[in-house]
A = this chain, B = another copy of it.
Amino acid sequence: MKTINVGLLGFGTIGTGVAKLLLTNSALIADKVGTPVVLKKIADLDVTTDRGIELSPGLLTTNAMELLDDPEIAVVVELIGGYEPAKSFVLRAIENGKHVVTANKALLALHGEEIYAAAARKGVEVLFEAAVGGGIPVISAIKGNMAANNFGSVFGILNGTCNYILTCMTQEGADFATVLHRAQQLGYAEADPTFDVEGIDTAHKLALLVSLCFGTRVNFADIYTEGISSISAVDIKFARDFGYKIKLLAIGKRDGDLVEARVHPTMIPVSYPLADVDGVFNAIRLTGDFVGPVMLSGRGAGMEPTASAVLGDIIDISRNLMAGINRRCAPLSFLDGSVATLKIKPMGEIESKYYLRFSAVDRPSVLAKISGVLGAHNISIESMVQTARMIGGSVPIVIMTHEAREMDVQKALQEIDTFDIITDQSRYIRIEDNLE
């Protein structure tokens, strides 16, 4: 019986997890595939660090070509991350007729189309379950058993760093900077946390989910992306008073010939299952026209859960190879000719409920002026709170709106912020209380 040989590009945290899983559960994997799945070569620039795994001599190389050009390697796993040399390596693997498994959401969000087209030409699979939600099998669920559904929406908590920070802020009443600093010390946040806390990583993942759910190309630059760095403890406190939690939510919605695709801090009711997804856990909630709402949650990152997702993809390809076929399913599950190009709805056009917080001087006319401007922009007020509490010499006024158009809200806030009764920039957080 033939062996299935795997080559690993990148021997960092996830790569180490993949190697560990392939070695630890090799018998189990062989029992499910029908033949051994063998780690034949690992390429990494660092060949000296001890990863705590015993490797056969010669397995580790600094030269990726040794692996990409090895005719005995059937599956290349790309875990380098970033755009280059990852992209060139992936394209070369495909050119050489190899199947590709990757966890690289940034690469696919920006260059997926080129990579999928190359894979279609060569008749190989490109799988990327590990790119979204760590070990949560959401991509295979969308492409696989839920494939008969037209999806209406997808909501995701997709970045463990942000969710950890927001969870701590919520539980402790602490400020963003304080919690970020601790997360960095604990290794939950990078030294430069921009990619995570500004929502870019979440947006990359959303781009993939939107493509898969709605069968469309996504122009990544059109995804509105707002991070959590401007969320303050006072907003979290008010959110709780109104029965909400603040989460960095990836939101995808089908809207006729348009899609919504946006990432921003979002208030969701505490009674929603997504509100209970705390710490480094991730979750995805999808709604299909037949299946209804389905939620999947689990560890969204980390060596071992991500390795589980990578191995799942390797097993998928291995089963094809054992059945004597190469390609069985297109990367987005829609046949390549059936992928649409739906436009992303401009952010100004979206409709949402809003939480608005104004900092104002403590004077009787303030409320009338604010509500006058809101009314003039077709923004109607659902509820309002003005506390006696002073923050830096100002009183906070919090308004929850009914559904309003983003553009109207932005214009109203700009106008209000010019008033001399307003002492600080007004804040807003979008609310999702209808996840259907």
Q: Which residue of B lies closest to A333 (CB)?
A: B32
Complex contact A290–B307 (CB within 8 A): yes
Whether B215 contacts A31 by the Cβ 8 Å rule is yes
Whether A135 contacts B129 in the complex (CB less than 8 A), given A276-B273, A296-B296, comes out as no
Given contacts A145-B140, A315-B148, A316-B144, whether A298 and B293 have CB atoms under 8 Å apart is yes
- Nearest CB on B from A273, distance (A): 6
Chain A binding surface, main DSSP class: mixed
Contact with B along A293-308 (1 / 0, CB 8 A): 1111111001011011
A-B residue pairs in contact (CB < 8 Å), sample of 8: A25-B149, A135-B294, A145-B309, A145-B312, A148-B311, A291-B305, A291-B308, A292-B302
A146 and B295 contacting across the interface, CB-CB below 8 Å:
no
A320 at the interface (CB under 8 A from B): yes
A233 at interface by CB-CB < 8 Å: no
**Residues of A within 8 Å of B, CB-based: how many?**
62
Which B residues are in CB contact (< 8 Å) with A34?
A: 335
Does B316 lie within 8 Å of A145, measured CB to CB?
yes
Asked whether any CB of chain B lies closer than 8 Å to the CB of A334, the reply is yes
A157 to chain B, nearest CB (A): 13
List residues of A whose CB falls within 8 A of some B CB. 17, 21, 24-25, 28-29, 31-32, 34, 129, 135-137, 139-141, 144-150, 215, 273, 276, 288-299, 302, 304-305, 307-309, 311-316, 319-320, 323-325, 327-329, 333-335, 338
Are B290 and A149 touching (Cβ within 8 A)?
no
